[in-house]
Amino acid sequence: MYQSNTGEITGSEPTDSGQTCRRSGLKEATASSCCPASLSPALPYRSSEVHTPSSSHAPSQPGTASDGGFLEGQCRNGIRVGRPASSVLMSSSDTSTVRFPGGTPRLRRTPGSTGPTGTSVSSVSTISGASVIVAVVEGRGLARGEIGMASIDLKCPELILSQFADTGTYAKVITRLHILMPMEILMPDTASEKGKWTKLFKLITENFPGVNLTAIQRKYYNEKKGLEYIQQLCAPEFATVLMEVQTKYYCLATAAALLKYLEFIQSSFYAAKSLKVIFKGSEQTTMIDSASAANLELVVNNRDNRSDYTLLGVLNHTKTPGGARRLRSNILEPLLDVDTITTRLDAIQELLQNEELFFGLKNAIGHFLDIDRLLSVLVQIPKQETAQAAESKITHVIQLKHTLDLVPQLREVLKTCNTALLKAYSATLEDNRFDIILEQIKTVVNYDTTYLKGSLNLRTQKCYAVRPNINAFLDIARRVYTEIVDDIAGLVNKLGEKYGFPLRTSFSTTRGFFIQMKLDGVVLPEGKLPPEFIKVTKQKNSYGFTTADLIKMNGRCDEALREIFHMSYVVICQLLTTIHEHIHCLYKLSDTVSMLDMLLSLANACTISDYVRPEFTDTLAIKQGRHPILERMARQQPVSNNTYISEGSNFVIVTGPNMSGKSTYLKQVALCQIMAQIGSFVPAEYASFRIADQIFTRIGVDDDFETNSSTFMLEMKEISYIIHNASDRSLTIIDELGRGTSAEEGIGICHSVCEFLLGLKAFTLFATHFLELCQLESLYPNVENQHMEVEHTRNRDSGAEQVVYTYLLSRGCSDERQYGLRAAEITSLPPSIIQEAKLVACKVSQQLLAKRPADPETQRQRAVYHLATRLLQTARNSRLDPESLRMYLKGLKKQYEAELQTAAPARPTDTEEE
């Protein structure tokens, strides 16, 4: 078994016990060496006995005077913002509020608008429920552009570190932040120096308007402290990360600031050796900038951000929160490594072929809770022991037992699997720590205690969680509680008999026990409830109320419960101390469950529609590909199309009238590419892909009033971002470039952008209304013209011409003209205006034709250029034997002669001269 940096097991590496360090092959530290005495949880309600992660550890106890000055102030958009509800630990004297000087940068952004990087702010950042805090720092002086980042999800004890070099547009930082969906971003107070905002700071404020931005004194970005923190907190399983990060000063510095801040704002801290720490370089995943993610509607729909019509919506059939998170992050950052992708595809194929395995796994996975969240609470030690914290701890142990009870079922189902990835995950479940923990839990917790939904059910489970005969006082308190509950039932029965009403006992968290009565067939005396019934509420067809006696009984109930929880908590704390050294195996379980859930989800998607297993070659070839989201939206099956892009023909120009399906086709190709790179099957009959290191899209958006940018400026920013970043291995989708300016300028810009991109080996799909660009095909051998076919019919009644969209892609340039005017005819524009427009358009094109010299010489030169480039390319790539090469060149010569015939029929002898 082999664990990649993203924490994923890949089947491509040799397997071992699952505890081998990836880089060094070192065995994991033994449990005893990694579990210092300081781990023991505190005894109930005595905060003085709570242990800090380490007294010798440099970062000081949170919330103490030594924190003074740590938090320079909380600032967002230059305005001090409210501290999160939990951050009330520090007195005002400990903090000095500073604002980033220099005034507030203009913030005029909404979801879907585009930032100065040319990166649109997709509404990912606006998804509610964000729980990630990120610290960012940028190198200074010569190191400017070197970015360090550390993030932690408050619901998942995983510290993610990264360090990378970014360009002046900071696209990588912004994209990574979008993927993380932070609720708060920490930056050094020096982000605003001498009243000037750094560019990165400005961009972050602009791109994340709904996110809290907090200034931390630069001194807390301390790499030495960061390393100490990681050594102190990292769970032994992930200790190899130290080797990866120990010289990465910027990410270490952000780790220090982030962990210090978390200690400060949270009423708990992470136990030593408890955190999963991973380093995520940008080189292991495909870079999809946030504008492209928004354009392609990967996780958020552009029209309605609650809609499921996204790639995530199409593929998401996950059963657990962890599985859904994993799928989302994979879609936003697809894999680059073909071996890892292949092992996933093998696993999905096995799931599709083995029904028993598929349904068995689905059933087993569906009962798991959010393991990351559970781990997060288990590895945090509350600073203050309250009754509420005590009750929560009991819930967590019940959840832990519930989770571990599911492991044998999962093991059993996976026993029959054959593919490397499933086998590797099956092996992780053989870890005997799962059984050790469960056995230890069962020594104090009832065998049949399990996690149940519903507040009363869970309360009952908590009440009876600890086994009898462990604490005699606990047993007595529980008997008292049972008697009170019985008394409540008796009271309600008596009241029912007294008034002749169909009363029943109900429970809610806020009211405790109360009485409910259905109204069906009940006749109230004088139309009123008896005065004994108080605090009456009416819901649909039932009344809810209580009585003075019942309120008293609820009070006694609560008191008994407090006693029970208090005594149970003491037992639970002792239990937690004994199992704590083994708890890190839950990281493995979380990884296994989320991955299996994601694979099942991808397999599920194949059962809903006909998907095919993709191959990975040097060519992008899709037979009868379909747009996955359109397929889900449309009642009918969308029209499928073929795609062929290879190194020798890597630039496809797509033309066609408005509404003919150009944009849909372009997006379809990119979506299929992303699906393939996350290890999913794709909607096609056959599909082969070249791994793309980056996926860029420039797809027309409306004016961005928020940033006050014109359509044209946005286009230029986006295209310049692509030009600066595209590589030979990228996939680029450009739709309607240059529509924000005059036709001549638009054509000019498109032409020069095309020429630049033609110099790369990137695969490019370029949709345009400028038919002039189709001439590029005769200039460059690697250009291919394609168009969307339309048909024309006549309306039987009116005789008017009608356009029928076939959505079929064909070779060559579109020969449709004036389709804009024809599209306008369908709208409610007055016929007189359309008529006038037609006249003017006709005159303009006649004038243009008159001006354009029939210049055979230029065309001859183009043909020569065309021939020369093809020859050059053949010479470079040729693996042909001499005879085949001769035949090929002969063919080229003929083709060239034919081209000259069309260009200059008057000069048939040119070929000989050449």
Ligand X SMILES: Nc1ncnc2c1ncn2[C@@H]1O[C@H](COP(=O)(O)OP(=O)(O)OP(=O)(O)O)[C@@H](O)[C@H]1O
Shortest distance, position 661 Cβ to ligand X, whole Å: 3
Of the two residues 547 and 664, which places its CB atom closer to ligand X in the complex? Answer: 664
Q: How many Å apart are CA 498 and CA 337, to the nearest integer?
A: 74
Q: How far is CA 503 from CA 487, 494, 506, 517, 550, in A?
A: 15, 9, 10, 5, 14
Provide the edge-to-edge strand list for the sheet that holds 132-138. 79-80, 71-76, 212-216, 182-188, 132-138, 146-153, 156-165, 276-279
Give the x-and-dash track for 128-167 against ligand X (CB under 6 A).
Answer: ----------------------------------------
Of the two residues 823 and 892, which places its CB atom closer to ligand X in the complex? Answer: 823
Of the two residues 321 and 638, which places its CB atom closer to ligand X in the complex? Answer: 638
Which residue of 52, 664, 694, 782 would you call a contact of ligand X, by CB under 6 A?
664
Contact 96, 72 (CB under 8 A): yes
Of the two residues 273 and 822, which places its CB atom closer to ligand X in the complex? Answer: 822
Shortest distance, position 362 Cβ to ligand X, whole Å: 32
Which residue of 18, 188, 625, 661 would you call a contact of ligand X, by CB under 6 A?
661
Of the two residues 145 and 700, which places its CB atom closer to ligand X in the complex? Answer: 700
Distant-in-sequence, close-in-space partners of 839: CB < 8 Å, separation ≥ 6: none
Shortest distance, position 794 Cβ to ligand X, whole Å: 22
Q: Burial letters for 65-87: b for 16+ Cβ neighbours within 10 Å, e otherwise? A: eebeebbbbbbbebeeeebbeeb
Of the two residues 460 and 624, which places its CB atom closer to ligand X in the complex? Answer: 624
Of the two residues 338 and 743, which places its CB atom closer to ligand X in the complex? Answer: 743
CA end-to-end distance (rounded Å), the chain: 63
Shortest distance, position 823 Cβ to ligand X, whole Å: 7
Q: Does 663 bind ligand X (CB under 6 A)?
A: yes
Q: What is the largest CA-CA distance in the chain?
A: 117
Number of residues that bind ligand X (CB under 6 A): 11
Of the two residues 245 and 652, which places its CB atom closer to ligand X in the complex? Answer: 652
Shortest distance, position 808 Cβ to ligand X, whole Å: 8
Q: Which stretch binds ligand X (CB under 6 A): 235-243, 353-361, 434-442, 662-670?
A: 662-670
Residues 279-298 that bind ligand X (CB under 6 A): none
Q: How far is CA 834 from CA 622, 657, 771, 791, 848, in A?
A: 40, 17, 22, 21, 21
Shortest distance, position 626 Cβ to ligand X, whole Å: 7
Contact 675, 315 (CB under 8 A): yes
Shortest distance, position 660 Cβ to ligand X, whole Å: 4
Q: Does 360 bind ligand X (CB under 6 A)?
A: no
Residue 838's nearest CA partner among 827, 824, 849 is: 824
Q: How many residues does this entry show for the chain?
A: 914
Contact 296, 22 (CB under 8 A): no
Which residue of 43, 659, 747, 779 would you call a contact of ligand X, by CB under 6 A?
659
Shortest distance, position 305 Cβ to ligand X, whole Å: 19
Of the two residues 321 and 625, which places its CB atom closer to ligand X in the complex? Answer: 625
Of the two residues 512 and 656, which places its CB atom closer to ligand X in the complex? Answer: 656
Q: Which stretch binds ligand X (CB under 6 A): 299-307, 341-349, 660-668, 840-848?
A: 660-668
Q: Which stretch binds ligand X (CB under 6 A): 59-67, 155-163, 496-504, 655-663?
A: 655-663
Of the two residues 84 and 820, which places its CB atom closer to ligand X in the complex? Answer: 820
Shortest distance, position 630 Cβ to ligand X, whole Å: 6
Q: Which stretch binds ligand X (CB under 6 A): 240-248, 340-348, 659-667, 888-896?
A: 659-667
Of the two residues 217 and 658, which places its CB atom closer to ligand X in the complex? Answer: 658
Residues 755-814 that bind ligand X (CB under 6 A): 807
Q: Does 656 bind ligand X (CB under 6 A)?
A: yes
Helix axes 223-233, 249-265, angle to 10 degrees: 70
Shortest distance, position 699 Cβ to ligand X, whole Å: 9
Of the two residues 622 and 639, which places its CB atom closer to ligand X in the complex? Answer: 639
Q: How many Å apart are CA 239 and CA 273, to the nearest integer?
A: 9
Of the two residues 443 and 637, which places its CB atom closer to ligand X in the complex? Answer: 637
Contact 517, 543 (CB under 8 A): yes
Residue 543's nearest CA partner among 601, 499, 592 is: 499
Residue 544's nearest CA partner among 497, 521, 511 is: 511
DSSP of 545-594, one letter per residue?
EE-HHHHHHHHHHHHHHHHHHHHHHHHHHHHHHHHGGGTTHHHHHHHHHH
Q: Does 625 bind ligand X (CB under 6 A)?
A: no
Q: How many Å apart are CA 789 and CA 810, to the nearest integer?
A: 7
Residue 781's nearest CA partner among 642, 647, 889 is: 647
Shortest distance, position 656 Cβ to ligand X, whole Å: 6
Q: Where are the beta strands (DSSP E) in 180-227?
A: 182-188, 192-193, 196-197, 212-216
Residue 236's nearest CA partner among 594, 574, 573, 587 is: 587
Which residue of 660, 688, 785, 786 would you call a contact of ligand X, by CB under 6 A?
660
Which residue of 658, 711, 720, 911 would you call a contact of ligand X, by CB under 6 A?
658
Distant-in-sequence, close-in-space partners of 708: CB < 8 Å, separation ≥ 6: 108
- β-pairing, 686-689 with 801-811? unpaired
Shortest distance, position 841 Cβ to ligand X, whole Å: 17
Strand partners, 784: 652
Which residue of 155, 225, 662, 870 would you call a contact of ligand X, by CB under 6 A?
662
Shortest distance, position 718 Cβ to ligand X, whole Å: 16
Shortest distance, position 351 Cβ to ligand X, whole Å: 29
Q: How many Å apart are CA 276 and CA 152, to the nearest integer?
A: 10
In the bound state, the residue with its beta carbon closest to ligand X is 661
Shortest distance, position 638 Cβ to ligand X, whole Å: 3
Shortest distance, position 180 Cβ to ligand X, whole Å: 31
Strand partners, 669: none
Of the two residues 686 and 865, which places its CB atom closer to ligand X in the complex? Answer: 686
Q: Which stretch binds ligand X (CB under 6 A): 47-55, 133-141, 557-565, 656-664?
A: 656-664
Q: Does 115 bind ligand X (CB under 6 A)?
A: no
Of the two residues 499 and 712, which places its CB atom closer to ligand X in the complex? Answer: 712
Of the two residues 322 and 661, which places its CB atom closer to ligand X in the complex? Answer: 661
Coil, strand, or helix at residue 445? strand
Q: Does 740 bind ligand X (CB under 6 A)?
A: no
Contact 591, 50 (CB under 8 A): no
Which residue of 422, 606, 639, 714 would you call a contact of ligand X, by CB under 6 A?
639
Q: How many Å apart are CA 899 and CA 860, to the nearest integer?
A: 8
Q: Which stretch binds ligand X (CB under 6 A): 65-73, 350-358, 652-660, 854-862?
A: 652-660
Residues 807-846 that bind ligand X (CB under 6 A): 807
Cα 628–633–634 angle (5° rounding)? 100
Q: Which stretch binds ligand X (CB under 6 A): 212-220, 324-332, 658-666, 794-802?
A: 658-666
Of the two residues 150 and 639, which places its CB atom closer to ligand X in the complex? Answer: 639
Q: Does 638 bind ligand X (CB under 6 A)?
A: yes
Q: Residue 774: CA atoms inside 13 Å, Cβ hemisphere, count?
A: 15
Shortest distance, position 613 Cβ to ligand X, whole Å: 22
DSSP of 304-344, one letter per residue?
-TT-S-SHHHHH---SSHHHHHHHHHHHHS-B--HHHHHHH
Shortest distance, position 802 Cβ to ligand X, whole Å: 16
Question: Can you give the binding site for ligand X, defined by CB under 6 A?
Answer: 638-639, 656, 658-664, 807
